[in-house]
Amino acid sequence: MRRLVIATRRSRLALWQAEHVKARLEAVHAGLAVDLAPMSTRGDELQDRRLGEAGGKGLFVKELEAAMAEGRADLAVHSMKDVPAELPPGFVLAAITAREDPRDALVSTKYARLEDLPEGSAVGTSSLRRAAQIAERHPRLEIRMLRGNVETRIAKLDRGEYDAIVLAAAGLMRLGLEARIRARLEVSESLPAAGQGALGIECLEARKEVASLLGPLSDPGSAACVLAERAVSRSLGGSCTLPLGAYAERSGARLRLRALIASPDGRRVLRAEAEGEDPERLGAQVAQALRGQGADEILKSLA
């Protein structure tokens, strides 16, 4: 193949990610030309509701998958935290790239730490996972829904609609907005979403020639960690309505996986961790440990 087309969302962050993959592919494969096919997704268009209320993470990827299925694109680039735990039949993640900083980041014009916000301060996030963990540690704060792309969210903060907002550090760094980060929330304070900080490259399972070109972009360590994290999510239902955090670290051949599931108000937070070498088995093991603490009760309350 001498030409590939990447399906991508139109947001500046999504375009940055697609351009990054384009540059990597053209550097690795001499003579390969890569074009972008930007498109709007349902997830980008819905700005007034949480994703879970509107149809879930798949809203960000369905149009891109349709473009691949119809032959208008050869691959799609995603933020791994936006990819549903189960891919549709016929699609595969051909590569998971080296991970950027997976942590959440506090952005504020006034305050350097969540601890510094006065009682009743408004903190913006669209993530139930972030909301639950903030509510657990800082019940005096008011958590408000915040949708939109990174620039839109920061603009709302700058207009004074929020006292602080919480975003993924990786997205801010990729957009050259690292200076807006007031604090990076440690993993012990805000466990990241499964796959946060990593990019995933999806293609049709039948397109072996495309998968072969994508293979060199995959980072084995990051991939193993992300697969373990996604296994927790899949074992617990994989819904983005679930306040679920999962984060794995690799040391040699072994993985350490931490995960949590919470009630949206943060009043009940279950945590589990384990170590192992097989990502899928480890994820299932940690999910089972959470079920042993009562995760099914939280799952049932969210149904």
Strand 199-204, strand 91-96: pairing: antiparallel
Tokens linked to 150: 């990174």
Q: Which amino acid is at 191?
A: L
Strand 75-79, strand 104-107: pairing: unpaired
Structural contact between residues 290 and 261, judged by C-beta atoms closer than 8 angstroms? yes
The Cα 221–Cα 98 span in angstroms is 8
Structural contact between residues 125 and 131, judged by C-beta atoms closer than 8 angstroms? yes
Residue pointed to by tokens 């999510």? 233
Is 82 considered catalytic here? yes
Active-site position among 82, 101, 104, 163 = 82
Q: Among candidates 182, 158, 174, which has minimal Cα distance to 106?
A: 182
* Residues labelled as active-site residues: 82
